């Protein structure tokens, strides 16, 4: 089944002379396990699109179907979006992903705590995910003491904590060098393939999207998609 299907999505900020059409008639659909890149110049609407599909920002028009449920159709349809965000969507941002005064482990425990998963079950999940992201040896470190690449790997572990259907990553490699950036993207690839999670990753760097299933290009809020098979 499709993890996410959006149709005719538009987002307008402001009105009158201050109106900005950040997204215009954007449609795309992503299946479980799909790894999709979103590219486009600065100001083309990439972050706005991620914020709309993550149910953080209310679109102006269109339809958002998440995991088979119509969540938005020219207005919220009444689903508990707060709960959906916590249970079914994982986020990774460019920087400042982690809470600096909580250890790597505690950062991975936090989203579990928010949905009522505590104690040994949560501890084991955190341990398993930090291992999966190859940062287990940093479990007791505070994030500011980790390298940028390690921080992003902890952020992926945290995003995975509640077994989301969809992971959204907004320029997760922008502050990393090419080698570290590639490692983060490879781990996102592994996440999509092995967990049947849909992943949308924004990047400016074409070297980062090797092996992705599709690439969407945004320009002035409009989408063009292309395959990424050679």
Ligand X SMILES: Nc1ncnc2c1ncn2[C@@H]1O[C@H](COP(=O)(O)OP(=O)(O)O)[C@@H](O)[C@H]1O
Interface residues toward Mg ion, by CB under 5 A: 46-47
Query: Which of ligand X, Mg ion, none does 211 bind, CB closer than 5 to 8 A by kind?
Result: none
Could you tell me which residues are beta bridge partners of residue 217?
39, 224
Helix (H) or strand (E) holding 31: strand 20-31
**Interface pattern 102-131 for ligand X (x via CB under 6 A):** ------------------------------
Look-up of token digits 């179907």: 65
Q: Which stretch binds ligand X (CB under 6 A): 38-46, 58-66, 75-83, 84-92?
A: 38-46
Token pair belonging to 63: 């339809």
Query: Which of ligand X, Mg ion, none does 138 bind, CB closer than 5 to 8 A by kind?
Result: none
Answer for which of 13, 27, 124, 163 binds ligand X (CB under 6 A) is 13
Token pair belonging to 227: 């395959």
Distances from the Cα of 206 to the Cα of 17, 27, 38, angstroms: 35, 22, 10
State whether residue 102 is helix, strand or coil. Answer: coil
Answer for which of 19, 27, 43, 68 binds ligand X (CB under 6 A) is 43
Query: Closest CB to ligand X among 22 and 36?
Result: 22
CA distance linking residue 212 with residue 141, whole number of Å: 32
Query: Closest CB to Mg ion among 57 and 146?
Result: 57
Shortest separation between residue 205's beta carbon and Mg ion, angstroms:
14
């Amino acid at each position: 089944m499709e993890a996410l299907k959006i149709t005719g999505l538009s987002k307008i900020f402001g009105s009158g002379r201050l109106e900005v059409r950040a997204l215009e008639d954007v449609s795309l659909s992503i299946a479980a396990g799909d790894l999709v890149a979103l590219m486009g110049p600065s100001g083309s609407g990439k972050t706005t699109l991620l914020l709309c599909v993550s149910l953080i920002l209310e679109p102006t028009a269109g339809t958002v179907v998440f995991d088979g449920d119509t969540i938005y159709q020219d207005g919220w349809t009444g689903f508990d979006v707060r709960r959906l965000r916590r249970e079914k969507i994982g986020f990774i941002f460019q920087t400042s992903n982690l809470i600096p005064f909580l250890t790597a482990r505690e950062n991975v425990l936090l989203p579990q705590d928010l949905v009522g998963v505590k104690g040994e079950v949560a501890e084991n999940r955190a341990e398993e995910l930090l291992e999966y992201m190859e940062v287990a040896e940093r479990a007791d470190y505070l994030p500011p003491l980790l390298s940028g690449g390690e921080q992003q790997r902890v952020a992926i572990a945290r995003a995975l904590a509640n077994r989301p259907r969809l992971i959204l990553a907004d320029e997760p490699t922008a502050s990393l060098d090419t080698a570290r950036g590639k490692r983060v993207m490879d781990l996102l690839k592994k996440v999509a393939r092995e967990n049947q999670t849909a992943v949308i990753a924004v990047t400016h760097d074409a070297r980062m999207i090797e092996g992705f299933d599709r690439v969407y290009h945004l320009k002035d809020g409009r989408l063009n998609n292309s395959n990424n098979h050679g």
